[in-house]
Amino acid sequence: MTEVKVQSLGLDPSSNTPVVILRETDGTRVLPIWIGPGEARSIAMELAGMKFSRPLTHDLFATVIAGLGGTLKRVHITKVVDNTYYAELIIQRGNDLITVDARPSDSIAIALRMEAPIFTSEELLERTAIEIAEAESGSFGGFGAGETETGGESGGLKAEELKEYLRRMNPEDFGRFNP
């Protein structure tokens, strides 16, 4: 597993879908994950240090983990199957490690609140790099056009447009996401 950090949060201009860009801590590879607007707002608010008088869902979940005597040790973004991303929350409670299946966007929002590290598989980072290289050579065979972490179509890019888009992908190219 490779540690990653939230590099940026933006809005994909072609599909108007929020995207979280994870960048490896000690490297240059990135993992873009198209996410829902609610989760994007939650991540953006935490990155901006915005707090509310009442807990939002991800705040509540972090409070429940701590209230039950647990600590979020880390988040693993483990795989993508049929264009659906998978993640796990690794929670320690006493001597027990508990693994909870979760969406990456929720996992990232909770990890930011609990200051837990985020890791992804080497395979996902390599896949992103390979897909960008394949897109440059014209033999793209990976992420679908504008698909989200839950596998749904966002209705944005055609395959050829996505190839070019990923090839040119730079986090600064994404529009700023405003919660």
pLDDT digits (tens, 9 = 90+) for 19-73: 999 999 998 889 999 999 999 999 999 999 988 889 899 999 999 999 999 999 9
Q: Identify whether 157 is part of a domain.
A: yes
Do the domain assignments include residue 175?
no
Q: Which long-range contacts (CB under 8 A, 24 or more apart) does 39-42 make?
A: 39/103, 39/105, 39/106, 39/108, 39/109, 40/9, 40/105, 40/177, 40/179, 41/177, 41/179, 42/109
Please give the tally of structural domains in the chain. 1
**Residue 70 counted as domain residue:** yes
pLDDT band at 178 (very low <50, low <70, confident <90, very high): low
pTM over 0.85: no
Q: For residue 76, give the CATH number of its domain.
A: 3.10.690.10
Largest Cα–Cα distance in the chain?
Answer: 52
- Show the domain range for 114: 2-170
